[in-house]
Amino acid sequence: MKDVHKDSGVHFASTANGWSNNALGLRWLQTTFENATKPKSDRTRRLLLVDGHSSHVNMDFIDWADRHRIIIMILPPHTTHRLQPLDVGMFQALSTAYSKQIDELLDKGLGKVHMSKRFFYKMFKTAWDTSFTEENIQSAFQKLGIWPVDGTEMITKVTKPEIVFNPTSYDSSKTLKTPLDSRALRQARLTMNRSPSTRKLDRIFKSARVLAAQVSILQKENEGLVEALDLEKDKRKKGRRLNLAGEESSGVEIYTPGKVVKAREYMEAKDAQE
């Protein structure tokens, strides 16, 4: 820590097992986030986007945030690679800058100096200052459409493109094979419309017989699976995971003041029952 000074603008913390926990998450909210973002007006609200880690999805964290006019928005599971500015726009630049620092150390040391913990902070801080600039941070928020608000690009990325059939690129020799999926059937129909023949019609009728047989088999299998899943569902009803307000999670969780009240009431009732 010899390179850390009072005006370094960094925060250090540790836990017994080295993992983040609820107490550390709350401490970060109360000291780091609050001090860095506290507005001049007491009537202003702030929005804090977090993932679903337990260190910031717990009643103490949510309750303290609400009392200080902070709205918590929890990103849906498995979406941080698309929706979190750190993952999308910041960590790659940080990794590149930090790797550059290590390469320079090895180069200047002619291979006789090796990376160790005592070099970490100084090298990491240099990499951080290089990559976590105001311009890069704002660019990451803009790239995801968080601010300015614009979800067009993100929706385009996760939307499956529509397949448009191009008759000019269709190989007519494929009509000799029995079409067994929707795309092949559409192509067969277009070919039949352009140049009708008994042979092509027989192929379409054959595909209908084959697909009907497959549907019959799948329906029977599906009935058995539905019955088995219903039994499993009944067994798991008691263990269904609920959010802090006692509701089933619908993906995105936003703890507005009203929802925080419901969460408090639910937790009080739960504590009383216990």
If one compares 263 and 162, the residue with the highest pLDDT of the two is 263
Residue 50 reports pLDDT greater than 90? yes
Q: What's the distance, Cα to Cα, between the start and end of the chain in Å?
A: 46
Q: Give the pLDDT band of residue 252 (cuts 50, 70, 90).
A: confident
Per the CB < 8 A criterion, the answer to whether 101 and 131 are in contact is no
Structure-token match 């945030």, residue found: 65
Residue 176 reports pLDDT greater than 60? no
Pairing assessment for the beta strands 253-255 and 70-74 based on DSSP bridges: antiparallel
For the chain, give every domain's residue range.
1-76+252-274, 85-161, 167-234
In this prediction the pTM is: 0.68
What are the tens digits of pLDDT across the range 54-84?
A: 999 999 999 999 999 999 999 988 888 899 9
| CA 258 remoteness from chain centre | 25
